Amino acid sequence: MIVAIIQARMGSARLPGKTMADVAGHPLLWHVVNRVRRARLVEKIIIATTSNPCDDAIAEFCRQEQIELCRGSEEDVLDRFYRAAASVHADNVVRITADCPLIDPAVVDKIVARFQQADCDYVSNTLRYTYPDGLDTEVFSFAALEQAWRGASKPSEREHVTPYLRSGKFRTANVESDTPVSPNQFRWTVDNLADLQFVRAVYGAMNGNGACGYKEILKLLRRRPELAAIQTEVISNEGYYRTLFRQAKSGAAPKLRLTQSQAWFERSKKVIPGCTQTFSKGHTQYVLGAAPIFLKSGKGCRVRDVDGNEYIDYVQGLLPNILGYAHEEVNAAVAAQLTEGHSFSLPHPLEVQLAERLIRLIPCAEMVRFGKNGSDATSGAVRAARAFTGRDRIACCGYHGWQDWYIGSTTRNLGVPQAVRNLTHPFRYNDLASLEQPFSEYFGEFAAVIMEPMNFVEPEPAFLADVKDLAHKNGALLIFDEICSGFHFGLGGAQKIFGVTPDMACFGKAMGNGFPISCVVGRRDVMKIFEEIFFSFTFAGEVASMAAAMKVLDILERTDALERIEANGRTLQDCVNAMAKEAGLVNRVRAVGRPQWSLLKFSDSSGADSPLMKSLFQQEAVKRGVLILATHNLSAAHDEPAIHQTLEVYGEVFKTLASWADDADPARFLDGPMVQPIFKVR
């Protein structure tokens, strides 16, 4: 028998009594029950509430409506839920919460039907949200529920019913909408008064129609967007993150054993300037003595250092490993190419095939040239722009690599001639006036504007389009540096998301899942200038990396990898912001940017950037097995167990930081030198 258990109580912290609040002449709970009753595949409904006297109102409601009821522990919700299922001899369970008065019976049936395929223990539409938040439905077997009831021991697993079922111990599946939306765009669950007012407004606009499906409601909200504006911003699953924070232990984690790391570090000092090939991978970017210095191996989202310590890796080689380390399909494609050679004396057909594919995917791409690093691509694009326009000056916004034309505009300009430095003019993101100023001062001298279309700040409405217009009015080209945003933000990059097509664009990093490859793509007439400029190097046509790129694009196009990256990134982002709030650090730590690549911003009490807070957070995370710089560089290999482990680590880190934040000298908690910035870009 398939039983829907509706989880209900009156004691909401944010909106007490919401379960029985009036909506269109009936209690909110009545609407939930009425909608679930319309699900064809649900055979019985039972409400699970607490033994607390404040929930007597729910018991009376059940008596009047002739609905079965089970009462139990207020704190141990898993036990209450299990006993409700056992009391009606459920074979399989549908979990619904009473704060979802717009639940759609057709969606419930779709998830139950997927569960009935009998290849999973747990099926939901919440592992990755493609429905509006508030249509949440979970279906699982009684056997799995009983196993969770017996095995779950953490407060977060007892208070929230299903975390144990999603921990990697069971076979799970996600059901997705055929018209996917972002949960941040449409949130229909009732957490606060504004949410209740929103639901009342929807029912009012639908004339109290309790049978309308979610697609009808979406149409209503698109016709009347002022209804959605009633709501205030709330973090999804905030209660779960609060529980993780409450159960977390406080205090510095034990130091890691880093004997071999230190030994390799001492050897590297003698033979490698700076002990690293890449500044951002060097020892100055971590708290020396607390973090590993050398890694030995990686698989998926996890790495091991030379001492054997394991970490969940949110650096992922500085963003290229979009599918994770040592991806079997990518490695097999490379191995197959290696057997036939990979660095040839003449061009290889893979160059053409990959170029054709990129042209299909990227809006601005009409022709393609390949490189190995992001700096190759950005510098090639700048040289092409100068050749095409016959001008020298460049306006830039963001980070664009190591070569003279760009790095000369930063504090890392040692060795760059002043004459070269004078030709590059940085401007501020979302500040058109800061670009207008150099255009006015050096009228007619600019070859191009090169910029990251987005990093961790959304563009203001029309900003990117205005930059393009301004560049073109001044006879300059627009170049989007999508080395980081490309593929992570979608197969067409940020230019596709924001609907602004540049003259050229640069892609790399994720394109090869760690194999070295980059490209310049762009307008045909502009790209033809590459036949005249010198953009040529031995390994530009190396095809093992191209084979990797072809396989990466195969996987990104045919699987839900990008969607999973976004969903897991959103979970981490929401967790950081919820726990910062719970720890009293809401003004000191926050996650910003798109979920696929979000930044943790650390501030001191005055609001200025805080390297100390960043160092303490990073130190305590890495000692607990989470390797992070200051961004969540998500890969498709970051699975549910890894994300859950990270959430628990963050609970301990935030609770520890909360106890240190107001100390007279919080630097005394560092295990080594503070993290040192390379130079400031953003």
- The residue annotated as part of the active site, out of 122, 399, 406, 650, is 399
Residue 296 CA, chain-centre distance (Å), reads: 26
Residue 474 has a CB neighbour count (10 Å cut-off) of: 20
What is the dihedral sign for C-alpha 281, 282, 287, 292? positive
SS3 266: helix
Cα separation, 278 vs 375, in Å, equals 13
SS3 27: strand
Cα separation, 101 vs 14, in Å, equals 17
First to last CA, the chain: 57
Q: Which of 306, 334, 163 has its CA nearest to residue 247?
A: 163
- The residue annotated as part of the active site, out of 55, 481, 503, 574, is 481
Secondary structure of 85-120 in the HEC alphabet? HHHCCCCEEEEEECCCCCCCHHHHHHHHHHHCCCCC
CB-based contact 417:446 (threshold 8 Å): no
CB-based contact 551:350 (threshold 8 Å): no
* Torsion from C-alpha of 13, 19, 23, 27, nearest 10 degrees: -150
CB-based contact 633:319 (threshold 8 Å): yes
404: left (phi over 0), alpha (psi -120 to 50) or beta: alpha
DSSP, res 249: -
- The burial class, CB within 10 Å (0-12 / 13-18 / 19+), for 296 is middle
Residue 239 CA, chain-centre distance (Å), reads: 20
Q: What are phi and psi of 133, to 5 degrees?
A: -65, 120
Q: Which of 457, 480, 485 has its CA nearest to residue 467?
A: 480
Geometric angle at alpha carbon 520, from 515 and 526, rounded to 5° = 165
Write out the DSSP string of 158-221: HHSSSTGGGSSSS-EEE---SS---TTT-B----SHHHHHHHHHHHHHTTT-TT--HHHHHHHH
CB-based contact 158:77 (threshold 8 Å): yes
SS3 139: strand
> What are the Cα distances from residue 383, in Å, to 61, 367, 504?
74, 16, 12
**82 in active site:** no
Secondary structure of 269-321 in the HEC alphabet? HHHCHHHCCCHHHCHHHCCECCECCCEEEEEECEEEECCCCEEEECCCCCCCC
**399 in active site:** yes
CB-based contact 557:627 (threshold 8 Å): no
**509 in active site:** yes
Which residues sit opposite 480 in a β-bridge?
451, 505
Residues forming the active site:
399, 481, 509
